[in-house]
Structure 1
């Protein structure tokens, strides 16, 4: 028992001495206060440490777009080696510590989106592009395509040839099969007809592919796949009217034709709707400007439609993971297919500013990057 106690005591002493030695292994040679200067990372390998260099406070790899503000130049000695460290703090003041000087380079971090293949920020009042990345390159846009479909639905209702209570025939077997699909379904067609408003809400909020397809046929004047073909022509005619040079449609819902073929809805043309980020933003601008009531529905996190629960996947809305109250996001549309990746059209109107529309296409972190893009535009007072 005495041997065990002695061994434990020796272990504790050794542990204490090792900790003390580690803490003492970095010593301050000199410390000089400097004018507050902006730096950003030159490498993702570094980290922020406490002054004793015993605790890693943050990895630079986790802060790709952060500007660090240097206020001190400190020379630390470790063994026989001396090195220059900077005392830093991020702009928000949430992280501070010391970074080896070679891991930083002078200047504010250049803004960029790491994951989005294409993106744009648009002033909805002036159509001015505030920031862009490959904004004129046509790309597959998945369910973001539904914004054009919903515009044409709004246009028909506004034309007094129909009302929101008009009935849409949903009896076609391909539509019902699509709605029941574990991949492409969600809102199930358990009845042979629904109102225009019900299908509009299902397509916008729940991103229902069968609802969007049924609405397209209805806009074109019928309820069979031949009217779907006519509706695709209407989509492209509207894009041409708006002078969208980088927009081509083959699907009312955004599903690629390789999948639509199994439901009887393939048309001639390419495999997917191909639209540039800028043209997507302009479609959203027309929808919001001409029919602002769309925001009443797009801002709802959930909605019961014809007895079915519709879930809005916009995670920038209040109560969701990426919500930021100052951005006042109230729309607009998510999208995903394997080909298109994650796509998102966001919109909001911060107090004292014009309405902002952002688009990210083929992203892996669409909500974080949309929020970063919105904050960047507002921080530079571009809108």
Structure 2
């Protein structure tokens, strides 16, 4: 019995070796082509080829250096990259088997190396956003979604939530319930504590009342959480946490009136319940506002179409208010790092919490095109990906 077991084990090892390394070039398949840095390779030959575009065939595959000893990149890490091949190279393993690789470089010329040819497929890569977990591009004029990624999945949206709060402020004024000069009670100790907080603060309540206009600008430009909550209470008709809860109900009612099926609010500011609790403004229930990218785009569209003056305020880079500086973190505005003149970005709202990640709602109108709204949720490169999305929409004449 021991001899038979040894014989079977030897056969299995032999088969496994054959499957792993293949027999010449014809036997290899994508699933059996194992690229291990411990296996030695040598370059047998290279042949120049007409420069041609390729992109990843699947999430597997590695870009190697010429000696096949170092991983330069993984194809999974470049899901929407077009690789340009200029050479065919035949590499031989220490086992004797050979494989055809392409020498490739990305369009920017920042990453180059050798990729097994079967990991690539001919043609330019389709457009996509690498980091955003949810995204959408909306034509404001037609109200048509022109590009999306997981757009109907509800996600935490952090301070992007303030777009709904600001809408309801504008709505109350429009309906004659108050004015920009109306006074808002800001004496609540919890709100004052929140304004001074090193993590969630930004605009300190040094007075017991501010005008609606002052708090509106603080919430929009500086993304002040305490300003947003105070405004919500004012809209709801009071100045205590009980009116905050009433206002959140108003937010949800407004979303329902717009038939937003993937929207649920528990916070006027976008802060999560566990973060609001120390300041006395947790209302219980779910921890975070959960809104899909598509629904965020609809909220933004209602805001800028019903109350277009928001764009003038949203394009303010910074300003002083009550001896404090309000700073707009929209880095697509003029003079900022990711500004692109042709996109004419003039809004709209940034957001960040740990659960939500970086979120951004952008809007602009390129000359000769419709205005668009873009939304990216949980996106670590929210400005570069927003700019890429806007350029894609306009370059493809989708809006």
**TM-score, normalising length: structure 1:** 0.81
2:317 aligned partner: 301
CA distance in 1, matches of 2:111, 2:274: 52
The reply to whether residue 39 of structure 1 matches residue 37 of structure 2 is no
**CA distance, structure 1, for counterparts of residue 103 and residue 193 of structure 2:** 62
| Secondary structure at 2:163 match in 1 | helix
Contact 2:91/2:101, CA 8 A, preserved across alignment:
no
Match of 1:316 in 2: 332
Hey, what's the Cα distance between the residues in 1 that align with 2:65 and 2:309? 48
Q: Could you tell me whether the CA contact under 8 Å between 2:164 and 2:251 is conserved in 1?
A: yes
2:80 to 65, 86, 95: 65
- What pairs with 1:160-175 in structure 2 (closer than 5 Å)? 160-175=176-191
Shift of 1:209: 0.4
Pick one of 246, 254, 257 that aligns with 2:262.
246
Q: Which moved more, 1:97-106 or 1:290-299?
A: 97-106
| Pairwise CA RMSD | 2.9
In the other structure, the counterpart of 1:109 is: 125
Answering whether residue 299 of structure 2 is matched by residue 283 of structure 1, we say yes
Equivalent-residue separation in structure 2 for 1:79 and 1:170 (angstroms): 73
Does 2:230 correspond to 1:199?
no
Whether the 8 Å contact between 1:41 and 1:60 is mirrored in structure 2 is no
CA distance in 2 between partners of 1:224 and 1:99 (Å): 64
Pairwise CA distance, 1:369: 2.0
Change (3 A) 1:37 1:77: closer
Distance of 2:88 and 2:280 partners within structure 1? 70
Change (3 A) 1:75 1:236: closer
Alpha-carbon contact 1:346-1:357 (below 8 Å) kept: yes
User: Tell me, which stretches of 5 or more residues in structure 1 are unaligned?
Assistant: 1-24
Q: Greater shift after overlay, 338-347 or 267-276?
A: 267-276
Q: State yes or no: 1:326 paired with 2:342.
A: yes
Structure 1 residues 63 and 170: CA distance shift in structure 2, 3 A: same
Closer, same or farther in 2 for the Cα pair 1:29/1:38, shift >3 Å?
Answer: closer
Q: What does residue 348 of structure 1 align with?
A: 364
Change (3 A) 1:96 1:307: closer
Secondary structure of 1:363's aligned partner: coil
Counterpart-to-counterpart distance in 2, 1:323 and 1:44: 35
Q: In the alignment, which residue of structure 2 is the partner of 1:17?
A: none
Q: Does the residue aligned with 1:347 lie in a helix, a strand or coil? A: strand
Q: Kindly tell me the number of residue pairs found equivalent between the two proteins.
A: 350
Q: How far, CA to CA, are the matches of 1:90 and 1:212 in structure 2?
A: 45
Question: Residues 95 and 271 of structure 1: is their aligned pair in 2 closer, same or farther, counting only changes over 3 Å?
Answer: closer
2:384 aligned partner = 368
Q: Give the TM-score taking structure 2 as reference length.
A: 0.78
Q: CA deviation at 1:336?
A: 1.2
Of residues 165, 168, 177, the one that matches 1:152 is 168
- Residue 37 of structure 2 corresponds to which residue in structure 1? none
Residue in structure 1 matched with residue 35 of structure 2 by the alignment: none
- 1:135 alignment partner in structure 2: 151
Q: Note if 1:180 corresponds to 2:196.
A: yes
Deviation at 1:95, TM superposition (A): 6.4
Which string of whole-angstrom CA distances, capped at 9 and with x for unpartnered residues, describes residues 246-277 of structure 1?
A: 11111110111222222222224322211111
SS in 1 for 2:378: strand
| Structure 2 runs not aligned, ≥5 long | 1-41
